[in-house]
A and B are shown apart, each in its own frame.
Chain A
Amino acid sequence: MNRPDHSTFREWLNQDADGMLAQGERARLEEHLAGCEECRREREELLAFERLLQRSALPVRPGFANAVMAALPPAGWEARAPRTWRFPLAVAAMLMMVAGFLVAGSSVAPSGLAALGAMGGMIRAAALAGAGLLGASWKGIGIVVEDVISSPVSLGAFGFLVLCLNLLLISLVRRRRPSAASEPARGRRTGG
């Protein structure tokens, strides 16, 4: 590294006053200060300047922190439910229990084991029905797609529709994930 010139040392003096000069640079600055009267004077001035600003500090009003705490309104995020699976799982478990008791209590199911068997049957039937619906949906989609690709015009229109939907999706995702740190500052200018 080349030997820093005098103006560089003056900049380093400022950074040193802020406690932000790198260790290596600080050592070189000290070395320079030992032989430079002008820079020593500059450092004294900087220290006096810091003291002057410190002495001019406005004391914070007593009880300020407590006043702010007392003035805090409930924030929106405090009322928002946490984003976990705990609540849906608890509801599902409760529903299962209620269903279990109902089945166990009925005349057609004399024991708890039979009740569980009946619940299993119900779940299996629901799953089969869901699978049937899904299959039918896919078949319906297949028919529509076959119809769409049969004509170049409808194929083009379909492509355009997909493109629009993608753009919509992208814009929604971008709106939902703003930069948290810059959120409150958005749209502001800092000029005075």
Chain B
Amino acid sequence: MTRGTEQATDEELVAAVLGGDRDRFGDLIERYQGRLVNYLFRLLRNADDAHDLAQEVLVKVYQVLDRYDPQYKFSTWLFRVAQNAAIDQIRRRRLKVVSLRQEDEEGEGRDWDLPSPERGPYGELRNRERGGAIQEAIDGLPWEYRELILLRHFGELPYEEIAKLKQMPLGTVKNKLFRGRQMLKEKLKDFLSD
């Protein structure tokens, strides 16, 4: 499916899809699925919901693909749609910010049990702790920092695209990312030596 399109830009792939080559949209999905799912996972805190919403977002983008303006980056557009969809879903479900301990008690903490090269009971425990700690640290960030950290680290958007998406000056984006990252690092310092 991706043969011959490895070097194609997002804009070229969109043009090909609009020209009738529907399969090229599959190449765009392959290109963005990891970033999109992980970005949504950190917002929704649930792997199944993240996958379902990522699919919804991609379908939505496909349906309005003819409105895409190539003077903007495709990724900026995609993540703007994703962010709005995630915020809508969070509001709809009135997602409660509860502690991971409470989630574990309710049996909803499995999403932090991420695959890891570490084997054995200790490795699994550490991995679970790490996943939970990262999510807790992210959730603990003020929204203005959290949204930029997620776009940068999980959406992998460059500063300029984040600035466009959030309609912020570039300097503000850099500054907020710096501060947000310092806060995260401080909260996760016990795991940095792993």
Contacts and interface: CB of A to CB of B under 8 A. Distances in A.
B188 A49 contact: yes
Interface string A172-192: 000000111111110011111
Nearest to A77: B66
Contact of B147 (A20, A67, A71, A190): A190
Interface in B70-127: 71-72, 76-77, 80-81, 83-84, 87-88, 90, 114-116
Contacts of B33: 60, 64-65, 68
A192 B116 CA distance: 31
B51 A61 contact: yes
Interface in B11-32: 18, 22-23, 25-26, 29-30
A18 B88 CA distance: 30
Interface of B: 18, 22-23, 25-26, 29-30, 33-34, 37-38, 41, 47, 50-51, 54-55, 58-69, 71-72, 76-77, 80-81, 83-84, 87-88, 90, 114-116, 130-131, 134, 143, 146-147, 152-154, 158-159, 166, 174-175, 177-178, 181, 184-185, 188-189, 191-194
Contacts of B80: 181-182, 184-185
A64 B177 contact: no
Given A18-B152, A180-B69, A184-B64, A71 B37 contact: no
Contact of B37 (A53, A64, A80, A185): A64
A56 B138 CA distance: 12
A108 interface: no
Nearest to B117: A55
A179 B69 contact: yes
Q: Which one of A75, A179, A183 has the highest number of Cβ atoms from chain B below 10 Å of its Cβ?
A: A75
Nearest to B31: A65
Given A18-B177, A72-B22, A180-B69, 16 more contacts: A52-B191, A56-B131, A57-B114, A60-B34, A61-B37, A68-B33, A71-B55, A71-B59, A73-B59, A75-B63, A180-B72, A184-B60, A184-B61, A184-B84, A185-B84, A192-B90
A178 B69 CA distance: 10
Q: Which one of A57, A73, A189 has the highest number of Cβ atoms from chain B below 10 Å of its Cβ?
A: A57
Contacts of A179: 69
Nearest to B115: A59
A44 to B, nearest CB: 9
Nearest to A48: B192
Contact of A20 (B59, B71, B158): B158
Q: Which one of A59, A61, A178, A181 has the highest number of Cβ atoms from chain B below 10 Å of its Cβ?
A: A181
User: Top 9 closest A-B pairs, CB basis?
Assistant: A180-B69, A77-B66, A181-B72, A192-B143, A48-B192, A65-B29, A188-B84, A180-B67, A75-B63
